[in-house]
Amino acid sequence: MSEAAPEMHELLGDDAPSNWGKWGRDDELGTLNYLDASEVLRGVQHIKSGETFTLQIQMGRTESPGDPLWPAREGIQRQNVLDESSWDGDGAPAFPGGLHYADDTALMFLQGSTQYDALGHVWYDGKLWNGYDARTTVGKMEKASVLPIAEKGVVGRGVLIDMARHRGKDSLDKKETFDHNDLEAAALAQGVTIEPHDILLIRTGWMNYWYELNNPKEFYDEFCEPGLTYSRELVEWFQNREIANLVTDTIANEVTNDPESGVALPLHCALMRNLGVVFTEMAWLDDLADACSADGRWSFLYTAAPLKVVNGTGAPVNPIVIR
């Protein structure tokens, strides 16, 4: 690792691969533009048994270890504002027929669970995805928010690459990396292909590690997740393969700090900001991986629709996979 990390534009290059303008100057969907009706039908062809799997982790767990989060964030704060105790004293609500009911509120980070990033979530050099000015994020995300993604929804052929299982581990280690060549090798071993316009799911075992470890202090010690690591070739692979959506079971979808340069989250910039690749983070993939491994079928119909948060930088989601 270099002593002083380079600036993002120095690492990625002034000629970094880019999809800006590919879908017009007003685009806010990026690679989700690949997911047209024909891609939905292609995905449907991979339904064989009708099994369904939900990929969201639980929100608001009170049992240890709680919910996994990016270190600067806090978990959801949910509280009842109406329940049976509301009828214990005078002045209780009254409804014809005498019904009682419960109600609650929540204060949360919109990226505090399984979630979609808005394409404008991360940037450098004052420009978001598609060249939008970073000042459009002030106060609210006026451009490249999560809303266009939520309005469209995400449906297509999903393929799961189980890097942890491929390497003979329950979960990858902190700082453990892999690249597109490793993804191709794992796909070959699994007997599946990564095809153009796929929704690419990658299992590291990291979410299960959080729950099994049951020790947040150890989990966050020298915090650096396993994941994809930056290279020009990897970025070009994503661009040439026209990957529509990257889904992983880590908090940041990539190794937290690049082991060579020391730069934090360069793929958020190289893939999301420059190519418009849509990111889904903290997905629960273990049950799906077990089913895929049991019968050797690693492709399926993937469906997801994050919450329609106006001007949001991201939104929770509970993707549903149908095999």
pLDDT in tens, 45-89: 999 999 999 999 999 999 999 999 999 899 999 999 999 999 998
- pLDDT for 27 beyond 70: yes
pTM of the model: 0.96
Amino acid in the structure at residue 278 = V
pLDDT value of position 213: 96
- DSSP string for 222-252: T----EE---HHHHHHHHHHT--EEEESSSS
Mean pLDDT of 105-118: 96
Residues in contact with 64: Cβ distance below 8 Å, sequence separation at least 6, in sequence order: 214
- pLDDT for 19 beyond 50: yes
pLDDT value of position 53: 98
290: which 2 tokens? Answer: 């077990």
**Do 219 and 65 touch, CB atoms closer than 8 A?**
yes
Phi, psi of 229 (to 5 degrees): -120, 145
Range 20-67+110-322 classified under CATH 3.50.50.60: no
pLDDT value of position 195: 98
Average pLDDT in the chain: 96
Mean pLDDT of 119-129: 98
pLDDT value of position 2: 45
Q: What percent of the chain has pLDDT over 90?
A: 97
Q: Domain limits of the chain?
A: 20-67+110-322, 77-107
- pLDDT for 178 beyond 90: yes
Confidence band for 91, pLDDT divided at 50, 70 and 90: confident
Helices marked H in the chain: 8-12, 37-44, 147-152, 163-166, 180-190, 206-213, 216-220, 232-241, 266-267, 274-275, 286-295
- pLDDT for 3 beyond 80: no
Residues in contact with 315: Cβ distance below 8 Å, sequence separation at least 6, in sequence order: 110, 115, 116, 146, 150, 306, 307, 308, 309
pLDDT value of position 1: 44
